[in-house]
Structure 1
Amino acid sequence: MPHHLMNLRHVPDDEAEEIRALFEAHDVRYYETPPSRWGISMGGFWVHDPEEAQRAKTLLQEYQNQRLHSQREAYEQWRSQGEGGGVWYMLRKKPVRTLAALLAILTIGALSLLPFIRIG
C-alpha cells in the first residue's frame, strides 16, 4: 500500500529539488505525483514499502528542521538589513500602490457593509 510522505502543493521548486536530491542520496525508492493545476489533487512524494516510508519520514523531518533554521536565518538577515514587510515598509517603498490597495480595501469593506447600515 502506498505511503504518502509529503504534499507538494505550495512547495517551492528549490525545496522539491532538494528533497529529490536527498532521496536520491539516501537511495530512497520513491515516486512523485505532480499537484494538479486546479488544486484538486495534491501531488506528493510516495513510497510503497512501510520500512522505506519510516526511513524517508525520518530523513524528511531532519531536512525540514534544517530548512526551518536556514530560512529563519535568511529572514532575520533580511530584516536586519532594513528590508521587511508590513504596511509602513510598503508605504515607504511603493506609496501609490499601497495607498491604492488600502483604498480598494476600504471601498470593498464599505460596499459590503452598506446593506447592513441601511437596515438600521
Structure 2
Amino acid sequence: MPHHLMNLRHVPDDEADEIRALFEEHEVRYYETPPSRWGISMGGFWVQDADEAARAKALLDDYQRQRFQSQRQAYEQGLARGEIGGIGSMFRRYPLRTLAACLAIAAIAAISLLPFVRIG
C-alpha cells in the first residue's frame, strides 16, 4: 500500500530538488506525483513499503529541521540588513508601489463591501 511522505503543494522548487537529491543519496525507492494546476490533487512523494516509509520520514524530519534553521537564519539576517520587514520598510523602499497596492486593496474592499453597506 502506498505511503504518502510529503505534500508538494506550495513547495518551492529548490526544496523539492533537495529532497529528491536526499532520497537519491540514501537510495530511497520513491515516486512522485505532481500537484495539479487547479489545486485539485496535492501531488507528493510516495513509497510502497512501510519500512521504506519510516526510513524516508526520518530523513525528511532531519532535512526539514535543518531547512527550517537555515531559512530562519536567512530571514533574521535579512531583517538585520533591513531587506525584510513590514509595510513600513516596504513603503520606505518602494513608496509608489506600496501606495498603489494599498489603494488597490482599499478599492477592492470598498467595492466588495458596498452591497452590504447599502443594505443598512
Supply the distance in 2 between the matched residues of 1:39 and 1:115 (Cα, whole angstroms): 30
Distance 1:105 1:37 in 2: 26
SS of the residue 2:5 aligns to: strand
Residue of structure 2 in register with 1:79 after alignment: 79
Q: Secondary structure, in 3 states, of the residue corresponding to 1:42?
A: coil
SS at 1:36 equivalent: coil
Alpha carbon RMSD of aligned pairs, Å? 1.2
Residue 114 of structure 1, CA deviation: 2.7
Displacement of 1:94 in angstroms is 1.1
Residue 5 of structure 1 aligns to a residue whose secondary structure is strand
Matched-pair contact (CA < 8 Å) for 2:91–2:99: yes
Q: Which residue of 1 aligns with 2:33?
A: 33
Q: How many residues get paired?
A: 120
What runs of 5+ residues in structure 2 fail to find an aligned partner? none
Aligned identity (percent) is 73
CA spacing shift, 1:39–1:118, aligned 2, 3 Å: closer
SS of structure 2 residue aligned to 1:97: helix
Give 1:84 deviation, angstroms.
Answer: 1.3
TM-aligned CA deviation for residue 61 of structure 1: 0.5
Shift of 1:66: 0.4
CA apart distance, 1:113? 2.8
CA-CA distance at 1:105 after TM superposition = 1.6
Distance 1:8 1:106 in 2: 33
- Report the equivalent of 2:119: 119
- Given that residues 82 and 89 in structure 2 are in contact (C-alpha distance below 8 angstroms), is that contact kept between their aligned partners in structure 1? no
Distance 1:38 1:72 in 2: 30
Residue 10 of structure 1 is matched in structure 2 by 10
- The one-character-per-residue Cα deviations of 1:97-118 (angstroms, maximum 9, x if unpaired) are 1111111122222223333333
Instruction: Give TM-score, length-normalised by structure 1.
Output: 0.93
Distance 1:48 1:103 in 2: 52
Partner of 1:94: 94
Per the normalisation by structure 2, the TM-score is 0.93
